[in-house]
Amino acid sequence: MTDQNTTSRPTVRLTPKAEARAIRHGFPWVYANELVTDRRTRSLTPGSIARLEDASRTGLGVVAVNPQSKIICRMLDRDPEAVIDQDWFASRLKRALAHRDRLYDAPVYRLVHAEADGLPGVVIDRFGDVAVVQPNAAWADTLIEPLSAALKDITGVATIIMNGSGRARALEGLEDRTEVLLGTAPDAPIPVPMNGAIYMADVMGGQKTGLFFDQRPNHATAASLSRGARVLDVFSHVGGFGLAALAGGATSALAVDGSEPALALASQGAAEMGKTSQFETRKGDAFDVLAALAEEGQSFDVVVCDPPAFAPFKNALDAGLRAYERVARLAAPLVADGGYLVLCSCSHAADLTKFRNASSRGIGRAGRRGQIIHTGFAGPDHPLMPHLAESGYLKAVFYRL
């Protein structure tokens, strides 16, 4: 399916009270209470492409409309006459690829980071000849064919996988769906080299796209602190911080996660690196394992906690901050004197100040004191859209205790 001819494209209009200035200045979304939602607008198929006008009927651009979502419109193009077709996707992908080609020698990175790369709700991670697309907005789900065709032409990848799962799709009223759009699904996890480590990405059955590229610079910073160190990697997934630490010269790394398949991939990565004897895993609830390690009298030179989003929405903020404080309180006693504690958050709703305060409070309640030596964010293949705070979700605070 492709975009309609511009002459037959429906029009949607901001309410007289809506502030068009934000859209004109670059904000990419229109919320449901800012749009005139008459019967015609409400009847539009989720993912429809429309012309957006202000209350005085001045064209503001081309938007994707989903009447079922609180984000009822997503800005696609500031030109009201733009056609959203394969060529349009190709121009966006060329621009995104040019940036990544400057950053990395190997084609392993996040190629498209949603709104910040001009493709709202779309995430594309690249693993060499394999690309995994997450169409987390209805318009991208509808236009997946021209998107994938442009992706093949611009990157030359041999395999394209659509990973249609996750909370964001549910908010758009989309069903979970994972399928191969081009080529053949890999019959084994893909080895991905980063920061001297080797990670195993399960692009068909793993979490998200199979690997988290966003922590790459924070892995490197932690690795630089890990020479000769005993390292604990909690919420490790496929061994993100632990394997990077071993590549940086750590004497040992213990990975803790609740997922047996993720830990198996972590062990496989350690084996690929020739580090099996220095790498251990422990399956269990992270909070329980942290408490158990303290009871066992364990101590580490570097402890990293990289939990899932405890505060993905504003209404979960208070509970999420309490969870981050608890992580810090349980992890701090495990850090040897003069050692390092790295605490991470990928919660949209918890900004850096709130997260840092909760973490510092937890450290204090554990009877420890420390200094912040570094604050890290997502890598440059995860650009931040200045108008959209949600695109800068990742924080990593490095303490020396």
Residue ending a domain, among 164, 182, 200, is 182
Residue ending a domain, among 182, 204, 235, is 182
Q: Which pLDDT tens digit goes with each residue over 262-301?
A: 999 999 999 999 999 999 999 999 999 999 999 999 999 9
Same domain, 92 and 137: yes
pLDDT band at 5 (very low <50, low <70, confident <90, very high): low
Average pLDDT over residues 103-114: 97
- Give the pLDDT confidence score for residue 4 in this predicted structure: 54
Residue ending a domain, among 153, 182, 211, is 182
Q: Which pLDDT tens digit goes with each residue over 223-237?
A: 999 999 999 999 999
Average pLDDT over residues 125-138: 96
- Name which of 217-221, 236-240, 346-350 the model is least confident about: 346-350
Same domain, 172 and 50: no
Instruction: Read off φ and ψ for residue 300, nearest 5 degrees.
Output: -135, 155
- Name which of 128-137, 199-208, 369-378 the model is least confident about: 199-208
- Give the pLDDT confidence score for residue 46 in this predicted structure: 94
> Is there a contact between 84 and 119 (Cβ–Cβ < 8 Å)?
no
The CATH number assigned to the domain holding 369 equals 3.40.50.150
Report the chain's mean pLDDT, rounded to a whole number: 94
Same domain, 176 and 194: no
- Give the pLDDT confidence score for residue 387 in this predicted structure: 87
Q: Which pLDDT tens digit goes with each residue over 34-71?
A: 999 999 999 999 999 999 999 999 999 999 999 999 99
- Give the pLDDT confidence score for residue 209 in this predicted structure: 85
CA atoms within 13 A on the CB side of 48: 22
> pLDDT at residue 6 above 70?
no
Encode burial over 341-368: b for 16+ CB neighbours within 10 A, e otherwise: bbbbbbbbbbbeebbbebbbbbbeebeb
* Distance set, CA 308 to CA 294, 324, 343, 383 (Å): 22, 10, 12, 20
Same domain, 48 and 17: yes
Please state the pTM of the whole predicted model. Answer: 0.94
> pLDDT at residue 206 above 90?
no
Same domain, 314 and 258: yes
Which DSSP symbol is given to 315?
G
> What is the percent of the chain with per-residue pLDDT over 90, rounded to a whole number?
87
Same domain, 326 and 383: yes
Average pLDDT over residues 78-101: 97
Same domain, 104 and 226: no
The domain tally of the chain equals: 3
- Residue 314 CA from chain centroid, whole number: 18
Instruction: Read off φ and ψ for residue 313, nearest 5 degrees.
Output: -135, 160
Distance CA 307, CA 322 (A): 13
- Give the pLDDT confidence score for residue 340 in this predicted structure: 98
> pLDDT at residue 121 above 80?
yes
Residue 322 class from Cβ within 10 Å (0-12 exposed, 13-18 middle, 19+ buried)? Answer: middle
Same domain, 126 and 10: no
Q: What angle do CA 16, 19, 21 make, to 5 degrees?
A: 130
The CATH number assigned to the domain holding 174 equals 3.30.750.80
Average pLDDT over residues 327-351: 96
* Distance set, CA 184 to CA 83, 160, 224 (Å): 31, 8, 38
> pLDDT at residue 1 above 60?
no
**For residue 130, what are the domain limits?**
86-182
Same domain, 164 and 262: no
Distance CA 167, CA 162 (A): 15
Average pLDDT over residues 243-263: 97
Tell me, yes or no, whether 99 lies in a domain: yes
Distance CA 27, CA 273 (A): 44
- Give the pLDDT confidence score for residue 278 in this predicted structure: 98
Same domain, 215 and 364: yes
Same domain, 125 and 172: yes
DSSP states of 92-133: HHHHHHHHHHHH-SSSEEEEEEGGGGT-TTEEEEEETTEEEE
Same domain, 173 and 91: yes
Tell me, yes or no, whether 1 lies in a domain: no
